[in-house]
Amino acid sequence: MVHLFRSLMGGVYWVISQVMLFWHSVWDHVLPGGRVLGTNWTWVLSIVFLVITLRIILFPIFVKQIKSQRAMQAIQPKMKELQQKHKGDRETLQQEVMKLYKEEKVNPLMGCLPMFLQIPVFIGLLHVLRHLRPGLSETSKTLYGWTSTAFDDAVLARLFNAPIVTKFSSSAKELVAIDANSTTVKIVAACLVVMMIFTTYMTQRQMIKKTGWNEDPQQRMIQKFMLYGIPFFTLTSGWYFPIGVIIYWVTNNFITLGQQFWVLHKYPPPKNAITKSSTPGAAKESGGIFAAFRAAREAATGGGNGNGRGTATSRPAGAGRPKTDTRTGAKSGGTTAGKATKSTGKTNNAPAAPAKALAPKPGAKPINPKKGGAAKRQSG
Alpha helices in the chain (DSSP H): 2-30, 41-74, 76-85, 90-104, 113-131, 138-141, 148-155, 172-177, 182-211, 217-224, 230-237, 243-266, 280-285, 289-302
Read off the pLDDT band of 278 (50, 70, 90): very low
Instruction: Please give the pLDDT value at position 227.
Output: 83
Distance CA 128, CA 111 (A): 28
Query: Cα separations (Å) of 70 from 30, 59, 206, 270?
Result: 42, 17, 15, 7
Mean pLDDT comparison of 81-90, 189-198, 269-278, 363-372, highest-scoring range: 189-198
Instruction: Please give the pLDDT value at position 26.
Output: 94
Instruction: Please give the pLDDT value at position 207.
Output: 76
Query: Cα separations (Å) of 349 from 309, 312, 340, 352, 353?
Result: 11, 9, 16, 9, 12
* Mean pLDDT value across residues 84-113: 79
In tens, the pLDDT along 208-255 reads 777 677 666 666 787 788 788 888 888 888 889 999 999 999 999 999
Q: What angle do CA 93, 99, 105 make, to 5 degrees?
A: 135
* Mean pLDDT of the chain, nearest integer: 75
Does the pTM surpass 0.75? The reply is: no
* Mean pLDDT value across residues 194-217: 81
Q: Do 64 and 110 meet the contact criterion of CB atoms below 8 Å apart?
A: yes
Concatenate the DSSP letters of all residues of 352-375 into one string. PPPPPPPPPPTTPPPPBTTTTBPP
Distance CA 28, CA 366 (A): 111
Q: Do 227 and 203 meet the contact criterion of CB atoms below 8 Å apart?
A: no
Whether residue 368 is predicted with pLDDT greater than 70 in this model: the reply is no
Instruction: Please give the pLDDT value at position 25.
Output: 93
Distance CA 146, CA 58 (A): 26
Q: Measuring CA to CA, which residue among 302, 195, 190, 188 is closest to residue 253?
A: 195
For 296, list phi and psi in degrees, rounded to 5: -65, -40
Distance CA 244, CA 247 (A): 5
